[in-house]
Structures are given as structure tokens and as C-alpha cells.
Amino acid sequence: MARHWQFDWRLLVFSGLFLPLLISLGVWQLNRAAEKTALLETWQAESASQAWAEQSAGALKPGQPVSLTGFYGEQTWLLDNRTRDGIPGYEVLTLFHPFEGPPLVVNRGWIQAPRTREQLPLVTTPEDLYTLNGRLADYPEPPVLAATEPESGSWPRRVQALPAELVAGEGVDPAAMIVALADSQQPGAYRADRVPDVMGPQTHYGYAAQWFALAAALTILTVVASYKKNSETSKEPKDRSR
């Protein structure tokens, strides 16, 4: 049965309002991807050209790459309640002393927990001089209104969170951020495969594709819905004459 175009002002108003919005959201995500690409390139250039002492003196941002040369300290904290693939474990956080610049906590990755809470996992820390590569991250702060009771005694120590004040209590003046190792091949690393807390340009491109796909789907549905069957729109008038 043949179809023909029928004007539906309600449908056109709906599409006219949402179609520009969807397209603008897609364009905004493309612009964000371009900005993030430029930012990552700047970070990479700064990481290659600046020493840690220079970087730490400036503005530090999560996801910023850093390269450190120094040695691990004896202070190691085990960040509790960290699961991977449904397996309980800890994240190993160790104080690192660069040759230049302030010391900082290094997240060496995840380690599986023993079967009982009374036991702590066996953590070994290399003692030689190393160069580490990673990305900056925020301190694992405690939740709002949650109390953090620092442990004492031998190392390592189990913690539920690790604010900067707790690290400073060990007699050091730590950097404003910690660093997560780039991968599990770094010196002293455990399972260091967590995705950095920074949205890369690929994610923005994916969001842009979704918004543009929604805009295309809205356009197609509007066109299809505007074509009506002849039987629905053109009925034979009744013959009222006798």
C-alpha cells in the first residue's frame, strides 16, 4: 500500500528540539577529544623534558605521567578491601625517595590477600636504585565521616585509606599526589594493570559516535513516522446524498 508524507507538527517540533541537541553533544565530545589529545601530548613532553623536582614544583594533575629515579623506603601500607576479578586483596603503597624533589607514595599494584584476616600478604621491596614510570593519582582518602585509625608497629601496615597526613606522620614531607606505576613490568610492581584515572581521547570519540548515532536514528524515525498509509490518512467521504 502506497505511503505519502503527512505533516505532523508535534513530531517535527520534538525532532527540531532534540536533533540539534544531539548533534551539539557529539561536536562537544569531539572538541573534548581534541583538547585531551593536546593535553596528553603536553604531559608526555613535560615528562620527558622535566625532572621530578621541576614537575612537583608546578601544578600536579591526576593522570600526568612522571618518571622518577631513586629508591624505595621501608614504609609500606596495604590498602585494604581491594578486589580484582572477585578476589579480595590489597594495593601495595610504598614510600619512594627520588634523588631530587619530594618523596612520594608509589602504588605498586594489587596483591592477593591470604585466607585469614590475621595474616598479611608477603611483600618484598627491592633495595637498589631504580627509575620508575607512572601516572599521578590522588591519595586514597577515607570516605566522608569515616575514621582512619593509623596502625603502628612493623611494616607493612594495613590501612583503609591513606591520606597525606598519615604519610607525613612518618617524618617526611610528601608530594601532593601519589604515583601509580605504569605497568606490571616496573621495578617493585605487583599487578599494576589498573586503568589510569584519566579519560583519554578514545573515550570522547566513543561518546561522540553515540550522540551522532542517536541523531541519525532520530532523523530516520522522524522521516519514517511522517509517511502514512493512504488508508490511514485519506478516507473516502461518505455519500450523504439520497
Report pLDDT digits (tens) over 39-48: 666 656 655 5
**Residues whose CB is less than 8 angstroms from the CB of residue 105 and which lie 6 or more positions away in sequence, other chains included:** 77, 93, 94, 95, 96, 139, 162, 167, 174, 178, 179
- How many angstroms separate the CA atoms of 194 and 208, rounded? 25
DSSP-based helix, strand, coil % in the chain, nearest 5: 35, 25, 40
Are 67 and 168 in a shared domain?
A: yes
CB 210 within 8 A of CB 204: no
**Residue 131 and residue 167 share a domain:** yes
Q: Is residue 234 part of a domain?
A: no
Q: Are residues 137 and 67 in the same domain?
A: yes
Taking residues 111-135, what's their average pLDDT?
93
> Would residue 3 count as lying in a domain?
no
Among 16-25, 64-73, 162-171, 226-235, name the one with the lowest average pLDDT: 226-235
Average pLDDT of the chain to the nearest whole number: 82
Higher pLDDT, 3 or 180: 180
Average pLDDT over residues 65-88: 93
- Can you give the residue range of the structural domain that contains 122? 63-181
> What percent of the chain lies above the pLDDT cut of 70?
77
Chain segment 180-204, per-residue pLDDT in tens: 998 999 999 999 987 655 666 778 8
What is the rounded average pLDDT of the residues 97-114? 95
Instruction: Check: CB of residue 53 under 8 Å from CB of residue 101.
Output: yes
pLDDT digits (tens, 9 = 90+) for 133-153: 998 999 988 665 455 566 667
Contact criterion met (CB below 8 Å) for 72 and 125 = yes
pLDDT in tens, 205-233: 888 899 889 989 888 887 777 766 554 54
